[in-house]
Copies of this chain bind each other. A is one copy, B any other.
Amino acid sequence: MLKKERQAYILRQVSLHNSVLSADLSAEIQVSEDTIRRDLNELAEEGKVIKVHGGALSKSFNSFYLRSDVFHGEQKKIIGQKAISLLKDGMFVLSGGGTTVIETARMLPETLLATFLTGSIPAAYEYAQHPNSEVIFIGDKISKKSQIAVGGEAISKIKSVKADICIMGINAMDIENGITDNDWDVVILKKAMLEASNLKVVLSISEKLNSVQRIKICGLNQIDILITELDKDDPILAPYRDSGITIL
Protein backbone atom coordinates (compact mmCIF):
# COMPACT_ATOMS: atom_id res chain seq x y z
CA MET A 1 0.00 0.00 0.00
CA LEU A 2 1.33 3.35 -1.02
CA LYS A 3 1.85 6.21 1.36
CA LYS A 4 -0.73 8.38 -0.35
CA GLU A 5 -3.24 5.56 -0.32
CA ARG A 6 -2.62 4.96 3.33
CA GLN A 7 -3.10 8.60 4.23
CA ALA A 8 -6.27 8.74 2.21
CA TYR A 9 -7.52 5.73 4.13
CA ILE A 10 -6.64 7.42 7.42
CA LEU A 11 -8.47 10.58 6.44
CA ARG A 12 -11.52 8.59 5.51
CA GLN A 13 -11.49 6.84 8.85
CA VAL A 14 -11.11 10.12 10.68
CA SER A 15 -13.99 11.77 8.91
CA LEU A 16 -16.02 8.64 9.47
CA HIS A 17 -15.44 8.16 13.18
CA ASN A 18 -14.30 11.61 14.25
CA SER A 19 -11.33 9.98 15.91
CA VAL A 20 -8.79 7.24 15.31
CA LEU A 21 -6.28 5.36 17.41
CA SER A 22 -2.77 4.81 16.08
CA ALA A 23 -2.84 1.25 17.33
CA ASP A 24 -6.06 0.45 15.45
CA LEU A 25 -4.82 1.88 12.20
CA SER A 26 -1.55 0.04 12.57
CA ALA A 27 -3.42 -3.24 12.90
CA GLU A 28 -5.81 -2.48 10.05
CA ILE A 29 -3.23 -1.47 7.47
CA GLN A 30 -0.50 -3.78 8.73
CA VAL A 31 2.22 -1.20 9.12
CA SER A 32 4.12 -0.21 12.21
CA GLU A 33 2.70 2.37 14.57
CA ASP A 34 5.70 4.52 13.79
CA THR A 35 4.55 4.84 10.24
CA ILE A 36 1.04 5.70 11.31
CA ARG A 37 2.39 8.30 13.65
CA ARG A 38 4.47 9.82 10.92
CA ASP A 39 1.43 9.91 8.66
CA LEU A 40 -0.67 11.51 11.33
CA ASN A 41 2.00 14.10 11.97
CA GLU A 42 2.12 14.96 8.31
CA LEU A 43 -1.63 15.22 8.06
CA ALA A 44 -1.64 17.36 11.18
CA GLU A 45 0.98 19.68 9.68
CA GLU A 46 -1.17 20.01 6.59
CA GLY A 47 -4.02 20.87 8.91
CA LYS A 48 -6.15 17.94 7.87
CA VAL A 49 -6.46 16.33 11.28
CA ILE A 50 -5.75 17.19 14.90
CA LYS A 51 -3.04 15.06 16.41
CA VAL A 52 -3.44 14.00 20.03
CA HIS A 53 -1.77 11.51 22.29
CA GLY A 54 -2.82 8.09 21.09
CA GLY A 55 -4.27 9.00 17.74
CA ALA A 56 -5.95 11.89 15.97
CA LEU A 57 -9.24 13.76 15.86
CA SER A 58 -11.32 15.17 13.07
CA LYS A 59 -10.88 18.88 12.47
CA SER A 60 -14.59 19.45 12.96
CA PHE A 61 -14.37 17.84 16.36
CA ASN A 62 -13.26 21.07 18.00
CA SER A 63 -16.04 23.33 16.86
CA PHE A 64 -18.41 20.52 17.61
CA TYR A 65 -18.64 21.23 21.28
CA LEU A 66 -17.57 24.85 21.21
CA ARG A 67 -20.64 25.60 19.18
CA SER A 68 -22.90 23.55 21.38
CA ASP A 69 -23.89 26.52 23.53
CA VAL A 70 -25.28 28.48 20.65
CA PHE A 71 -26.72 25.35 19.24
CA HIS A 72 -28.55 24.64 22.45
CA GLY A 73 -29.68 28.23 22.49
CA GLU A 74 -31.55 27.69 19.25
CA GLN A 75 -33.15 24.54 20.55
CA LYS A 76 -34.21 26.33 23.68
CA LYS A 77 -35.83 29.09 21.69
CA ILE A 78 -37.95 26.54 19.89
CA ILE A 79 -38.95 25.06 23.22
CA GLY A 80 -39.71 28.53 24.54
CA GLN A 81 -42.06 29.23 21.65
CA LYS A 82 -44.02 26.09 22.31
CA ALA A 83 -44.16 26.73 26.04
CA ILE A 84 -45.47 30.24 25.56
CA SER A 85 -48.42 28.89 23.62
CA LEU A 86 -49.61 27.36 26.88
CA LEU A 87 -49.69 30.62 28.79
CA LYS A 88 -52.89 32.62 28.90
CA ASP A 89 -53.81 35.91 30.50
CA GLY A 90 -54.60 35.68 34.17
CA MET A 91 -52.73 32.49 34.74
CA PHE A 92 -50.86 31.77 37.91
CA VAL A 93 -47.57 30.19 36.83
CA LEU A 94 -45.14 28.28 38.98
CA SER A 95 -41.75 28.47 37.31
CA GLY A 96 -38.47 26.65 37.79
CA GLY A 97 -35.06 28.05 37.11
CA GLY A 98 -33.16 26.15 34.42
CA THR A 99 -31.65 27.80 31.38
CA THR A 100 -34.49 26.55 29.22
CA VAL A 101 -37.07 28.21 31.43
CA ILE A 102 -35.07 31.43 31.43
CA GLU A 103 -34.92 31.39 27.67
CA THR A 104 -38.69 31.07 27.68
CA ALA A 105 -39.02 33.97 30.09
CA ARG A 106 -37.08 36.20 27.71
CA MET A 107 -39.50 35.44 24.90
CA LEU A 108 -42.74 36.19 26.67
CA PRO A 109 -45.04 38.34 24.53
CA GLU A 110 -45.35 41.82 25.98
CA THR A 111 -49.09 41.64 26.12
CA LEU A 112 -49.22 38.63 28.41
CA LEU A 113 -50.67 39.41 31.78
CA ALA A 114 -49.81 36.60 34.14
CA THR A 115 -48.44 36.06 37.62
CA PHE A 116 -45.17 34.16 37.97
CA LEU A 117 -44.10 32.46 41.14
CA THR A 118 -40.50 31.32 41.27
CA GLY A 119 -37.62 30.57 43.59
CA SER A 120 -34.89 31.07 41.02
CA ILE A 121 -32.94 34.30 41.03
CA PRO A 122 -32.16 34.39 37.31
CA ALA A 123 -35.72 33.47 36.41
CA ALA A 124 -37.16 36.11 38.73
CA TYR A 125 -34.84 38.63 37.16
CA GLU A 126 -36.07 37.80 33.67
CA TYR A 127 -39.72 37.81 34.63
CA ALA A 128 -39.22 41.13 36.38
CA GLN A 129 -38.12 42.64 33.06
CA HIS A 130 -41.50 41.90 31.59
CA PRO A 131 -43.78 44.94 31.46
CA ASN A 132 -47.09 43.40 32.39
CA SER A 133 -46.57 40.27 34.36
CA GLU A 134 -46.32 40.12 38.10
CA VAL A 135 -43.50 38.30 39.83
CA ILE A 136 -43.52 36.71 43.24
CA PHE A 137 -40.28 35.38 44.62
CA ILE A 138 -40.27 32.50 47.01
CA GLY A 139 -37.61 33.45 49.50
CA ASP A 140 -35.35 31.28 51.57
CA LYS A 141 -31.72 30.26 51.80
CA ILE A 142 -30.18 30.43 48.33
CA SER A 143 -28.44 27.34 47.02
CA LYS A 144 -25.28 28.58 45.34
CA LYS A 145 -25.10 25.70 42.93
CA SER A 146 -28.43 26.41 41.35
CA GLN A 147 -29.22 30.00 42.35
CA ILE A 148 -32.49 28.76 43.71
CA ALA A 149 -34.18 29.28 47.05
CA VAL A 150 -34.22 25.96 48.87
CA GLY A 151 -35.36 25.01 52.32
CA GLY A 152 -38.43 24.51 54.44
CA GLU A 153 -39.74 27.99 54.11
CA ALA A 154 -39.72 27.84 50.34
CA ILE A 155 -41.28 24.39 50.30
CA SER A 156 -44.11 25.30 52.62
CA LYS A 157 -44.73 28.46 50.69
CA ILE A 158 -45.08 26.53 47.49
CA LYS A 159 -47.33 23.99 49.13
CA SER A 160 -49.68 26.75 50.21
CA VAL A 161 -50.52 27.76 46.66
CA LYS A 162 -52.34 26.16 43.78
CA ALA A 163 -50.96 27.24 40.45
CA ASP A 164 -52.63 26.83 37.07
CA ILE A 165 -49.49 25.57 35.44
CA CYS A 166 -46.00 24.52 36.42
CA ILE A 167 -43.18 25.09 33.95
CA MET A 168 -40.08 23.24 34.85
CA GLY A 169 -36.76 22.48 33.24
CA ILE A 170 -35.23 19.14 34.06
CA ASN A 171 -31.82 17.54 34.18
CA ALA A 172 -32.56 14.00 33.18
CA MET A 173 -35.53 11.85 32.31
CA ASP A 174 -36.15 8.40 30.96
CA ILE A 175 -38.94 5.89 30.60
CA GLU A 176 -38.03 3.70 33.52
CA ASN A 177 -37.09 6.20 36.20
CA GLY A 178 -39.12 9.20 35.18
CA ILE A 179 -37.60 12.57 36.03
CA THR A 180 -34.38 12.50 38.00
CA ASP A 181 -31.85 14.99 39.34
CA ASN A 182 -28.69 14.93 41.42
CA ASP A 183 -29.27 17.75 43.87
CA TRP A 184 -31.32 16.82 46.89
CA ASP A 185 -32.60 20.32 47.63
CA VAL A 186 -33.66 20.86 44.08
CA VAL A 187 -35.50 17.55 44.01
CA ILE A 188 -37.53 18.46 47.07
CA LEU A 189 -38.39 21.82 45.58
CA LYS A 190 -39.43 20.42 42.23
CA LYS A 191 -41.59 17.81 43.87
CA ALA A 192 -43.41 20.52 45.76
CA MET A 193 -43.80 22.56 42.61
CA LEU A 194 -45.39 19.71 40.74
CA GLU A 195 -47.79 18.97 43.55
CA ALA A 196 -48.88 22.56 43.72
CA SER A 197 -49.86 22.82 40.06
CA ASN A 198 -52.76 21.70 37.95
CA LEU A 199 -51.01 21.39 34.63
CA LYS A 200 -47.50 19.99 34.84
CA VAL A 201 -45.26 20.94 31.96
CA VAL A 202 -41.69 19.77 31.50
CA LEU A 203 -39.22 21.52 29.21
CA SER A 204 -36.19 19.64 28.02
CA ILE A 205 -33.83 19.55 25.08
CA SER A 206 -33.92 16.12 23.56
CA GLU A 207 -30.37 15.39 24.64
CA LYS A 208 -31.51 15.12 28.21
CA LEU A 209 -34.06 12.48 27.37
CA ASN A 210 -33.15 8.89 28.14
CA SER A 211 -30.58 9.83 30.75
CA VAL A 212 -30.75 9.14 34.45
CA GLN A 213 -29.45 10.81 37.58
CA ARG A 214 -29.31 9.87 41.22
CA ILE A 215 -32.49 11.10 42.80
CA LYS A 216 -36.01 10.64 41.57
CA ILE A 217 -38.36 13.58 41.33
CA CYS A 218 -41.40 11.82 39.95
CA GLY A 219 -42.64 9.18 37.57
CA LEU A 220 -43.71 9.96 34.04
CA ASN A 221 -47.33 9.56 35.00
CA GLN A 222 -47.08 12.76 37.04
CA ILE A 223 -46.32 14.79 33.94
CA ASP A 224 -48.96 16.24 31.65
CA ILE A 225 -46.96 17.84 28.87
CA LEU A 226 -43.45 17.38 27.56
CA ILE A 227 -41.87 20.03 25.36
CA THR A 228 -38.69 19.43 23.42
CA GLU A 229 -37.16 21.05 20.37
CA LEU A 230 -38.15 18.02 18.28
CA ASP A 231 -41.20 17.60 16.13
CA LYS A 232 -43.96 16.00 18.12
CA ASP A 233 -43.92 12.93 15.87
CA ASP A 234 -40.22 12.30 16.29
CA PRO A 235 -39.61 8.60 17.06
CA ILE A 236 -37.45 9.47 20.06
CA LEU A 237 -40.57 10.81 21.73
CA ALA A 238 -42.78 7.86 20.92
CA PRO A 239 -42.26 5.94 24.18
CA TYR A 240 -43.09 9.04 26.16
CA ARG A 241 -46.26 9.61 24.19
CA ASP A 242 -47.16 5.99 24.76
CA SER A 243 -46.83 6.44 28.50
CA GLY A 244 -49.59 9.02 28.39
CA ILE A 245 -47.75 12.32 28.17
CA THR A 246 -48.89 14.96 25.72
CA ILE A 247 -46.03 15.98 23.46
CA LEU A 248 -45.70 19.49 22.11
Instruction: Tell me which residues across on chain B come within 8 A of A15, comparing CB atoms.
Output: 65, 68-69, 72
Q: Is A149's CB under 8 angstroms from B128's CB?
A: no
Pair B139/A138 contact, Cβ less than 8 Å: yes
Report chain B residues within 8 Å CB of A55: 2
**Chain A, range 52-103, C-beta contacts under 8 Å to B:** 52-55, 57, 60-62, 64-65, 68-69, 72, 98-99, 102
Partner of A137, one of B2, B16, B69, B137: B137
Cα distance A102–B4 in the bound complex, in angstroms: 31
Cβ contact within 8 Å between A137 and B149? yes
Asked if B139 and A137 sit within 8 Å, CB to CB, the answer is yes
Contacts of A220 in B (CB 8 A): none
Q: How many of chain A's residues touch chain B, expressed as a range?
A: 35 or more
Distance in angstroms between the alpha carbons of A12 and B133 in the assembled complex: 35
Q: How many Å lie between the Cα of A25 and that of B142 in the bound state?
A: 27
Task: Considering the complex, give the chain B residue whose CB is closest to the CB of A16.
Answer: B207
In the complex, chain B residues whose CB is within 8 Å of the CB of A145: 19, 52, 57
Give CA–CA (A214, B20) in the complex, Å. 11
Chain B residues with CB below 8 A from A99, complex form: 18, 61
Q: Which A195-233 residues have a C-beta within 8 angstroms of B? A: 205, 207-208, 213-214
Which residues of B are found within 8 Å of A16, using beta-carbon distances? 205, 207-208
Q: Which residues of B contact A18 (CB under 8 A)?
A: 98-99, 146, 171
In contact, B122 and A125 (Cβ under 8 angstroms): yes
Flag whether A140 is at the interface (Cβ < 8 A).
yes
Q: Which A residues are closer than 8 A to B by beta carbons?
A: 2-5, 8, 11-12, 15-19, 21, 24, 50, 52-55, 57, 60-62, 64-65, 68-69, 72, 98-99, 102, 119, 121-122, 124-125, 127-129, 134-142, 144-147, 149, 154, 157, 171-172, 182-183, 205, 207-208, 213-214
